[in-house]
Chains A and B, each alone.
Chain A
Amino acid sequence: MAFAAFADTSEKKAQEPVKKSRVAIALLLPGIAYLTLFFLAPLVSLVLTSFMAPDPNSVDMGTYVYAFQWQNYVDTISANWMFYVRSFAFAITATVLALVISYPIAYFIGVYARKWPAIQAFALILVIAPFFISFLLRTLAWKQILGDDGWVVSTLKAVSILPPDGHLTGTAFSVIFGLTYNFIPFMVLPIYASLERLDIRLIEAGRDLYASPSTTFWKVTLPLSMPGVVAGTLLTFIPASGDFVNASQQFLGGPSSQMVGNQISSNFLKILDYPTASVLSVVLMAIIMVIVSVYVRRTGTEDLV
């Protein structure tokens, strides 16, 4: 009898977790199915495509067969490395500029304007408002403003900052400008979210402990807002390095300011060179992952969250 009692309880105990894990699996299933279907499968397909070789039996463009052609990587990287360099240079510059512009905005909304909630709400709306218009339209609008017959160029020419035959559109300047502009809200909002929780009394404690306003900023305010800064820079840097709209010649870019995104898009859509486009994508993804993981580890944000 005693044994039976033992057996009984142990069975019950064993059953419960199984039941729970079944519920958990049932709840996770849609997510797992979604990720498998829309992330894992395309990723596998992308990697497989990157090793494809031209179909020897066909003369049509864009026909390839599965192969294991490592040479694709060597060829593509040696032909396109400068696009990577340019993409990351543009993306890093735009991220730094967006950070420098956004931090004061976020500080104003999250700390300075605390006493006036109406101003705080209004400023937040101003940051978010551009989202109500498609970013394609906004970028096209900048093409108009920065265009050769726009007032910006004519003013700059009048004061001799720009030479008489100078342009803004099609240059690295306008591409970085567009990237910075388009990603500012993604930078402002996370920094605002962490500054909004900043305890003013800590700033007072800094002042009390012999830290000048600038030292208090570097030693107290900035470290405490690092989670927001890291989130904002990632939300800017990752999409900016793969961006192909701002650098597109139809928007703010020119032949000399093409980014990897533009190369991927033209290989895929225009010359139908799927293996090259896939290699470009896989390598871009790998480099971003390396940069991001080093960055997150360096900033040590895991402590702060």
Chain B
Amino acid sequence: MAGQVLSDTGTELRLESIRKEYPGFVAVDNIDLTIPAGEFFALLGPSGCGKTTTLRMIAGLDDPTSGRILLGGEDITHTKAYKRPVNTVFQSYALFPHLTILENVAFGLRRRKVADAKAQAIAALELVQLAHVADRRPAQLSGGQQQRVALARAIVNRPALLLLDEPLGALDLKLRRQMQMELKKIQADVGLTFVHVTHDQEEAMTMADTVAVMNQGLIEQMGAPEAMYDLPRTAFVADFLGQSNIFRGQASSANASTIQVELGGSSVRIPVARAAKSSGDVSVGVRPEKMSIHVGKVPASANRNVLSGGRVFDVDFTGVSSQFSVDFGALGNVVVFEQNLNALPSVNIGDEVSVSWEIDRGFGLLDHRPEVVASDESEQ
């Protein structure tokens, strides 16, 4: 019901080659981005990748060095923060400690001289199931409750765009999962455009319609979480969004549907449609759960790639599945996840094994893993 009261259609956001320079470094490097109205959009990246700076520029708390920000077609690049129809749920919540919960939520409404500020604030508190603490002060609430108040304080204003700056970062795992579901539900109820900044890939994948992975001030890749997980374009995305086995080799020959890549002694094939690059040095990636592990050798087949001669050096039993770490010498280490269909893991430490995967599940990357990461792995 409260959702109905607050519901509104969001507005499209466009960033046109937005750039932010600080003395000595570029925080955001000419980003172009369009976020459709009503979408739950996640900006995902490690700390220092420029995602929070991007968010602050959209909110108007930082000025871009160059570029334009358009909200529903209107240029808001130089509009003051307090005049933008944009609200933020801050990482620290930033609730006003001297005001009651109700007055915190009504703050934005009162500034805009909305007539029934109190009734709307109560409706927003009902939406986050906190109407019963309306008269308390922020310090009297738990972290999860404060987080929900911060959310109510932002959505009560029916902003064209709601920005979430790692709002779940301070919560423990269980509460975080619960809040993720609630946030997603609230977004569906109110229909606002949400831009969610996070460094938690699982959070981004479970919540967002579209995820943009940021690295060093640039968007590396953008798309639906499932599509991006299935087909990452760069080594960074392959490693940051989930886990990947990546082999570096040379493209040797190609036919209409597949490219052959030589990896030291063995060769594997990747579909042309799933290769970002078809000649020269090519990095081939496979997700650990898409691989199978076999004791001994298995014959090559038409639709599977096989790597032989690995030795298992670690088995992690995690209940539902087991994780096998296999040393393939010059090829590096390979990680394989397998569901525990039998009582015990099928492979033991020290076993000589082969791994195989369906050709259609592999992908070819545009770039390679940075050397630092490669040398780290050879030390293991």
Chain A interface residues toward B at CB < 8 A? 199, 201-202, 204-213, 215-216, 219-220, 223-224, 226, 303-304
B59 CB–A CB distance under 8 Å: yes
Complex CA distance for A113 and B329, rounded to whole angstroms: 57
Complex CA distance for A303 and B103, rounded to whole angstroms: 16
Q: Is the CB of B96 within 8 A of A208?
A: no
Q: Is the CB of B82 within 8 A of A211?
A: yes
Q: Is the CB of B98 within 8 A of A208?
A: no
Residue from the set A205, A215, A216, A304 with the largest chain B CB neighbour count within 10 Å: A205
Chain B interface: which size bin? 20 to 34
Given contacts A211-B107, A215-B111, contact A205 B98 (CB under 8 A): no
Complex CA distance for A54 and B268, rounded to whole angstroms: 117
Q: Is the CB of A210 within 8 A of B108?
A: yes
B60 CB–A CB distance under 8 Å: yes
Of B90, B98, B112, B157, which contacts A201 at CB under 8 A?
B90
> Can you name 18 A-B pairs with beta carbons within 8 Å?
A202-B96, A202-B97, A204-B61, A205-B88, A205-B94, A207-B60, A207-B80, A208-B60, A208-B88, A209-B107, A209-B108, A209-B157, A210-B108, A210-B111, A211-B111, A212-B80, A213-B82, A216-B82
Contacts of A223 in B (CB 8 A): 98
Instruction: Beyond the given A208-B86, A212-B80, A219-B107, please list 20 additional residue pairs across the A-B interface where CB-CB is below 8 A.
Output: A202-B94, A206-B107, A207-B80, A207-B81, A208-B60, A208-B61, A208-B87, A208-B88, A208-B90, A209-B82, A209-B87, A209-B108, A209-B153, A210-B82, A210-B83, A210-B112, A211-B111, A213-B82, A224-B97, A226-B98
| A220, chain B: closest CB distance, angstroms | 6
Contacts of A212 in B (CB 8 A): 80, 82
Of B61, B90, B97, B157, which contacts A210 at CB under 8 A?
B157
The binding surface of chain A is classed by DSSP as helix
Q: Is the CB of B111 within 8 A of A209?
A: yes
Chain B interface residues toward A at CB < 8 A? 59-61, 80-83, 86-88, 90, 92, 94-98, 107-108, 111-112, 153, 157
| A273, chain B: closest CB distance, angstroms | 50
| B112, chain A: closest CB distance, angstroms | 5
Complex CA distance for A224 and B138, rounded to whole angstroms: 14
| A118, chain B: closest CB distance, angstroms | 18
Q: Is the CB of A220 within 8 A of B96?
A: yes
Q: Is the CB of B82 within 8 A of A204?
A: no
Residue from the set A205, A209, A224, A303 with the largest chain B CB neighbour count within 10 Å: A209
| A276, chain B: closest CB distance, angstroms | 46
Complex CA distance for A303 and B138, rounded to whole angstroms: 13
Closest 6 interchain pairs by CB?
A: A209-B108, A205-B94, A210-B111, A207-B81, A201-B94, A223-B98
| B197, chain A: closest CB distance, angstroms | 14
Residue from the set B82, B87, B88 with the largest chain A CB neighbour count within 10 Å: B82
Contacts of B60 in A (CB 8 A): 207-208
Complex CA distance for A220 and B82, rounded to whole angstroms: 14
| A10, chain B: closest CB distance, angstroms | 39
Complex CA distance for A166 and B322, rounded to whole angstroms: 96
Residue on B nearest A216 in the bound complex, by CB: B82
Q: Is the CB of B82 within 8 A of A208?
A: yes
Q: Is the CB of A207 within 8 A of B61?
A: yes
Q: Is the CB of A201 within 8 A of B81?
A: no
Residue on B nearest A205 in the bound complex, by CB: B94
Residue on B nearest A211 in the bound complex, by CB: B111
Complex CA distance for A213 and B94, rounded to whole angstroms: 17
Residue on B nearest A210 in the bound complex, by CB: B111
Q: Is the CB of B98 within 8 A of A224?
A: yes
Residue on B nearest A304 in the bound complex, by CB: B98
Contacts of A220 in B (CB 8 A): 96
Contacts of B97 in A (CB 8 A): 202, 224
Residue on A nearest B98 in the bound complex, by CB: A223
| A208, chain B: closest CB distance, angstroms | 5
Contacts of B80 in A (CB 8 A): 207, 212
